[in-house]
Amino acid sequence: MIVIFIDIPTKIQKIVYKKQYSEYVTKYANEYNIDENLIYAVIKAESNFKNDAKSSKDAMGLMQLMKDTAKEVSQKINLQIDDDKIEQKLLDVEININLGTKYLSDLIDRYQNIELAVTAYNAGIGTVNNWIEKGIIKSDGSDIENIPYKETNNYVRKILRDYKIYSNL
């Protein structure tokens, strides 16, 4: 009798932690020098891979970008987006992953660590800078448990957990 051992938890994890849109994630991860597993973790947290996701705060697409952020990032990469087509463009999978990955890469460059970059992705650069200036969180990201916004605190923990899971799969 032959016994086959199947690692059920890993099989289930690969279903729950899917890697959709890999052609775009890999392309822009390489272009902006960022780990694609982090991009997958952000997409999972932001939209759970629902490309037409829209938040109550008007963030849009897979990586839940705000229109102003998308416009700012698109100018940096010379991607022309007309104001009257911004919503349509943000729901385009490739454009959303391109802009979201570039923005995340810029945040990592700014803060020099993933923890604060992910915090700023959720709470905003101004908010994170304010917390650092007031000593609420450290500039090295070593005390993210002190993030005062419950939503952001949970968000950062979720991203870091999912990032680790994606990296281990």
C-beta of residue 64 within 8 angstroms of C-beta of residue 43? no
36 is catalytic: no
Residue position matching structure tokens 């998308």:
70
- Nearest CA-CA partner of 164 in 41, 5, 36: 41
The dihedral through the CA atoms of 149, 144, 169, 5 has a sign that is: negative
Which listed residue (46, 87, 94, 115) is catalytic? 46
Dihedral (CA of 154, 155, 156, 161) sign? positive
Contacts of 59 (CB under 8 A, 6+ apart): 46, 65, 66
Reading phi first (left if > 0) and then psi (alpha if -120 to 50, else beta), residue 87 is in alpha
Cβ atoms within 10 A of the Cβ of 83, count?
8
- Where in the sequence numbering do the catalytic residues fall? 46
